[in-house]
Amino acid sequence: MLPSRTTSRRPTVPSVPSTLPPPPAERPGADGPRRRATLLERLAATDRPIPGDLLARELGVSRQAIVHDVAVLRAAGQPIVATIRGYLLVRSSAGEGVRGVVAVRHAPADAEAELTALVDLGVRVVDVVVEHPVYGELRAELRIESRADVAAWAEATRRSGAHLLSELTDGLHLHTLEAPSAERLERARTVLREHGFLLAAG
């Protein structure tokens, strides 16, 4: 008697359609060059910072896409800065006051008082700069010019738990200030000195 033969059955493979369905239609905001042109126009139409989340919603893309677009625009020479309140297209300040740099030192807990004292004088705090032993100059844009800006900065700092740049240098840092006149800028230095924040010579 011959042994019985087992016949293996191949699994049924579904047939593949000869043509694949077309890809979904591209979203209006997905075209990079067009989107970046629109983004630049949006920033140029205002002198106030625009939050990245708002730009993402308006252009129909992710927040990360906005970060990428801003990086591309900045690499192309567009003067866009990222502030605590959003992105801002920087315009020339020629003829709109004077600029000066102050060297200050204080504890992180005094940062809000320092900023408030300056904006109460009508002085804009443009940036903060520290000298890092490895990376050299580290600069962050602030563009703080009102108590509302100070409050937004303080809230974002508390919410994120982020450390201040000045903590890298034992409280020592620089600020670029913009004031409507040289007299106002000197008054800002005086107020910082009265608070014990201004770095004394020697």
**Model pLDDT for residues 31-83, shown as the tens digit of each residue:** 889 999 999 999 999 988 899 999 999 999 999 999 999 988 988 888 888 88
Angle CA 167–169–170, to nearest 5: 70
Q: List beta partners, residue 103.
A: 174
Helix axis angle, 147-160 relative to 111-119, nearest 10°? Answer: 160
pLDDT at 54: 95
pLDDT < 70 positions in the chain: 1-30, 92-96, 201-202
Amino acid residing at 179? A
pLDDT at 93: 54
Distance between CA atoms of 39 and 42, rounded to whole angstroms?
5
Instruction: For the domain made up of 29-89, give the CATH fold.
Output: Arc Repressor Mutant, subunit A (1.10.10)
Q: Where in the chain is the domain with CATH 1.10.10.10?
A: 29-89
pTM value is 0.69
Say if residues 19 and 29 touch (Cβ distance below 8 Å).
no
Pick the closest to residue 117 from 191, 199, 180 (CA basis). Answer: 191
Reported as type and span, the H/E element at residue 193 is helix 182-194
Q: What CATH class has 98-194? A: alpha beta
